[in-house]
């Protein structure tokens, strides 16, 4: 692998790690592109080429994954979870959640409460098993 490809991959990984750590914060492509030392358009293309999805979609999926965990593990209201994971609107959160998980957040919580009440598994295993498709 050439040095430039290694450098690009390292920058993409660094940027994805930053997204993982700050997923609940407002993140925009311009700020993320600065971390990767690239223009916003080039960053978006490289991110997609490296990880198979756009930065926006990756960030949405990470937020939904965290929301899934909070819905399973807490009794906090869906609205509170929506804002805690970085969404600015309950409507956008619900639409995005449904698009990724194929059911609304409240139905997901109810299904897990029914299916998972008697079966307790480690959170890391549950997250891997229930991870939404990209």
Q: Is the pLDDT of residue 132 over 90?
A: no
Give 112's pLDDT tier (boundaries 50, 70, 90): confident
Residues 74-104 pLDDT 10s: 999 999 999 999 999 999 999 999 999 999 9
Query: For 5-19, what is the mean pLDDT?
Result: 90
Distance CA 86, CA 90 (A): 11
Q: Which of 34, 90, 93, 33 is nearest to 61 (CA)?
A: 93
Can you give the pTM of this predicted structure?
0.79
Residue-level pLDDT at 7:
85
CB 63 within 8 A of CB 69: no
Residues 23-76 pLDDT 10s: 999 888 999 999 999 999 999 999 999 999 999 999 999 999 999 999 999 999
- According to CATH, the superfamily of the domain at 61-130 is Homeodomain-like (1.10.10.60)
């Amino acid at each position: 692998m050439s040095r430039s490809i290694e450098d690009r991959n390292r920058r993409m990984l660094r940027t994805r790690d930053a997204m993982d750590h700050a997923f609940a914060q407002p993140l925009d492509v311009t700020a993320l592109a600065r971390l990767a030392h690239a223009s916003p358009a080039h960053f978006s293309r490289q991110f997609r080429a490296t990880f198979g999805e756009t930065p926006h979609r990756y960030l949405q999926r990470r937020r939904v994954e965290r929301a899934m965990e909070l819905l399973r593990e807490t009794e906090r209201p869906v609205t509170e979870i929506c804002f805690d994971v970085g969404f600015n609107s309950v409507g956008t959160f619900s639409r995005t959640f449904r698009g990724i998980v194929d059911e609304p957040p409240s139905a997901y919580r109810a299904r897990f409460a029914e299916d998972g009440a008697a079966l307790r598994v480690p959170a890391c295993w549950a997250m891997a098993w229930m991870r939404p498709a990209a």
